[in-house]
A and B are shown apart, each in its own frame.
Chain A
Amino acid sequence: MAVTEETKTGEAAALERDESPAAGLLASPWAVIKRGFRSLDLDTRLFGMIAGLLVIWVLFHFWSGGTFLTPRNLWNLTVQTSVVAIMATGMVMIIVSRNIDLSVGSMLGFIGMFMALLQAEWLPQYIGFDQWYTWIIVLAAGLVLGATLGLLQGAVIAYAAVPSFIVTLGGLLIWRGLAWVLASGRTIAPMDSAFQLLGGGARGSIGGTISWIIGVLACAAVVLLLASRRRTRLKFGFRVRPLWADIALTVFGCASVLGAVWFLNRYFMPEGLAMAYAEENGLEWPAGGLEIPFGIANPVLIAIGTAIVMTFIATRRRFGRYIFSIGGNPEAAALAGIKTRRTIVMTFMMMGILVGLAAGVQVARLNSATSGLGTLQELYVIAAAVIGGTSLAGGIGTIFGAVLGALVMQSLQSGMVLVGIETALQDVVVGVVLVVAVAVDVAYRRRQTT
């Protein structure tokens, strides 16, 4: 009985709090905007990051004389971001669990070299070149190798209690050295023709129509997700956003997905490629030429898919909850009966699998592998996670934030290349941004907790 009463008062309070802006016309317009904004119940940190990203884009757009915010540049930006983004989703979970993985760059080099040799030298001895299934064997083998290396490092960290900083620092040297040993320092190229599609390019993209279909499906998913969430919360009598706020969010979510698809779809194939494509697909070649969009590139799709799966694991699965609880208070997690050591091992395995996936994309994109593949990538991956709001003290971080962080870093680098800043200065800027971003984040959090 006390419960139903409680619910009622809760709902009444919610109603009072969440009046629609129209009801508050007497207040100043600024207050109305502020109140409306609050009932959107947004994560202000993420909102700030998106705003920061847009500022960077607009600045570079004007500075570069209008070449930054073009379909072509943004399309390339998404492709260049994907490798770091894939690994950053795993790095978030590693850092959340109060660990670090310094080995991902070297591991990417080792696994990449292994995958390259497998498809270019080892497998062809048995099955010949360019079988339709070669890429499946190679990718699967790369993922298994990644899982194994992750398991190895994770086991030493969790069961031998060696700090992850040391174990993965060792890994950084070991995997890099082994990458060289595997091919005695040679460059391995070219890759299997189907495998190359993992890396994007004209043929490694899904085309305009499928891009639109995926955009519409994503849109439907946003609607369903928000609706089902609202229904469940109402069923339990929890506070919900006012209906207009939920609708506004849905519209905004759909508009940004479809807007992104529309913009990327305006990157058309250059004439030569388009002609070849038209011929392949039996299209007429009109006098004015054809505008054939690339569509979303495969590596971008892989990165988006990875981010969705990882978000699901982090927020909706027990495994993710356990990683967060270990990061928040390892003793409490152990006392609650969580097998903390096994969870840590699995977290590093997950990281290894993601490195394997990223290695596949990177090797396919470059169409070759060298023993220097992935050098210094660990720093970009960690920086992406940290810029994205992951706390090195553990327990705090989001996948979406890390992906945004990767996008921010890549935007800075691409932008600086566009405006012609020399490499040494680029590193200076990225370093400064990293430190400033974390300083702002720390200040923001401190203000929130007091």
Chain B
Amino acid sequence: MSAPTATRPLVEMRDMNVSFGGVHAVENVTIDLYPGEIHALVGGNGAGKSTLIKTLSGAQRPDSGQIWVNGEHVVIHSPIDAKNHGIETIYQTLALADNIDAPGNMFLGRELRTRFGNLDDSAMEAATRDIMARLNPKFENLKAPVASLSGGQRQSVAIARAVHFNARIMIMDEPTAALGPAETEQVRQLIRQLKDDGLGIILISHDIHDVFDLADRISVMLQGRLVGTVNKDDVTMDDVLAMIIIGKRPGETTQSELDELRG
């Protein structure tokens, strides 16, 4: 079914469950991700997408379920655990400290230090400059607090952080939501570049065009459950919309439901 089959999945999440006070935010969801693949995760508000990926990025502990990375069963209890397994997350809110400059943010939590244990700001600035030359050459004012940067520049700081630490698995939660058209295109280009480098990317997006433009496979969630996972090339946008809104896979929908959907 999945596009690149021969290899072992980078990540498998099996039977994940998360509930908040009796409400099942995520219920028995199983998805996987292959190297060089963009796997889109879509669904309406409150469908459980963000909660699901938080269990992978270490921001949320699951009630039950297993996570396998490169065929190994792993336990992820904190963001540090996730990072140690090569999983980097780019959050919708960007998760940058606005008052700190780009190098400070890129190395936040993993600062380079001199042999006396002091912050090695020069080394961090140099590393940031090197990586920005590749990702976003127009970005030069590295020493400014990131609050003063544009949305695209802030996004490139978040992505540079993931790239620098050799992420194998990248989770992107609405990476283009806060961006203008030109910057959106720039970030899309960046995502394709990362895919070509062999990273596995889980892409959460509201934007169905983003999804069809970038994704290899699409998983749809509704009310905490996985409706299904499909190859992008096998389905139409209408099929995916039907999955998102009424929770039925292609072929399961009736004609009247489809008519209603099209309004």
Name A's B-contacting residues (CB within 8 A): 2-3, 6, 10, 232-233, 235-238, 315-318, 321, 324-325, 327-329, 331-338, 395-396, 449
Q: Are A6 and B137 in contact (CB under 8 A)?
A: yes
Q: Are B122 and A233 in contact (CB under 8 A)?
A: yes
Asked if A336 meets B95 with Cβ closer than 8 Å, knowing A3-B129, A232-B122, A318-B113, the reply is: yes
Nearest opposing residue in chain B for A9, CB measure: B140
Asked if A2 meets B137 with Cβ closer than 8 Å, knowing A232-B122, A316-B119, A396-B99, the reply is: yes
Q: Are B113 and A331 in contact (CB under 8 A)?
A: no
**Cβ distance A4 to chain B, nearest Cβ, rounded Å:** 9
| Cα A84 to Cα B198 with chains together (Å) | 57
Q: Are B109 and A338 in contact (CB under 8 A)?
A: yes
Asked if A317 meets B118 with Cβ closer than 8 Å, knowing A10-B140, A328-B98, the reply is: yes
Q: Are A6 and B129 in contact (CB under 8 A)?
A: yes
> How big is chain B's contact interface, by range?
35 or more
Query: Is the CB of B130 closer than 8 A to any CB of chain A?
Result: yes
Q: Are B100 and A238 in contact (CB under 8 A)?
A: no
14 further A-B contacts with Cβ under 8 Å, apart from A10-B140, A336-B109, A338-B108, are A2-B137, A6-B133, A238-B126, A318-B117, A325-B108, A328-B97, A328-B98, A329-B98, A331-B93, A333-B108, A335-B79, A337-B109, A337-B110, A449-B148
Which single member of B59, B110, B123 contacts A335 (CB below 8 Å)? Answer: B59
Contact sample, A vs B, 25 pairs, CB 8 Å cutoff: A2-B133, A2-B134, A2-B137, A6-B133, A6-B137, A232-B122, A235-B122, A236-B122, A318-B117, A321-B104, A325-B100, A325-B104, A325-B108, A328-B97, A328-B98, A329-B96, A329-B98, A332-B93, A332-B96, A332-B97, A333-B109, A336-B79, A337-B79, A338-B108, A449-B147
Residues of B138-193 whose CB lies within 8 A of A: 140, 147-148
Query: Is the CB of B28 closer than 8 A to any CB of chain A?
Result: no
**Cβ distance B119 to chain A, nearest Cβ, rounded Å:** 5
Q: Are B59 and A324 in contact (CB under 8 A)?
A: no
Q: Are A335 and B89 in contact (CB under 8 A)?
A: yes
Q: Return the CB mask of B76-96 against A: 1 if under 8 Å, else 0.
A: 001110010000010101111
Chain A residues closer than 8 Å to B210, beta-carbon distance: none
**Cβ distance A419 to chain B, nearest Cβ, rounded Å:** 40
Asked if A325 meets B119 with Cβ closer than 8 Å, knowing A3-B129, A337-B78, A337-B109, the reply is: no
Q: Are B108 and A236 in contact (CB under 8 A)?
A: no
Chain B residues closer than 8 Å to A333, beta-carbon distance: 97, 108-109
**Cβ distance B114 to chain A, nearest Cβ, rounded Å:** 9
Nearest opposing residue in chain A for B83, CB measure: A337
Name B's A-contacting residues (CB within 8 A): 57, 59, 78-80, 83, 89, 91, 93-100, 104-105, 108-111, 113, 117-119, 122-123, 125-126, 129-130, 133-134, 137, 140, 147-148
Asked if A395 meets B97 with Cβ closer than 8 Å, knowing A2-B137, A6-B129, A449-B147, the reply is: yes
Which single member of A317, A321, A334 contacts B79 (CB below 8 Å)? Answer: A334
| Cα A449 to Cα B144 with chains together (Å) | 11
Chain B residues closer than 8 Å to A328, beta-carbon distance: 97-100
Q: Are A321 and B137 in contact (CB under 8 A)?
A: no
Chain B residues closer than 8 Å to A337, beta-carbon distance: 78-80, 83, 109-110
| Cα A329 to Cα B145 with chains together (Å) | 13
Q: Are B96 and A236 in contact (CB under 8 A)?
A: no
Chain A residues closer than 8 Å to B134, beta-carbon distance: 2
Chain B residues closer than 8 Å to A6, beta-carbon distance: 129, 133, 137
| Cα A449 to Cα B147 with chains together (Å) | 9
Q: Are A335 and B91 in contact (CB under 8 A)?
A: yes
Chain B residues closer than 8 Å to A10, beta-carbon distance: 140
| Cα A2 to Cα B113 with chains together (Å) | 26
**Cβ distance B57 to chain A, nearest Cβ, rounded Å:** 8
**Cβ distance A373 to chain B, nearest Cβ, rounded Å:** 36
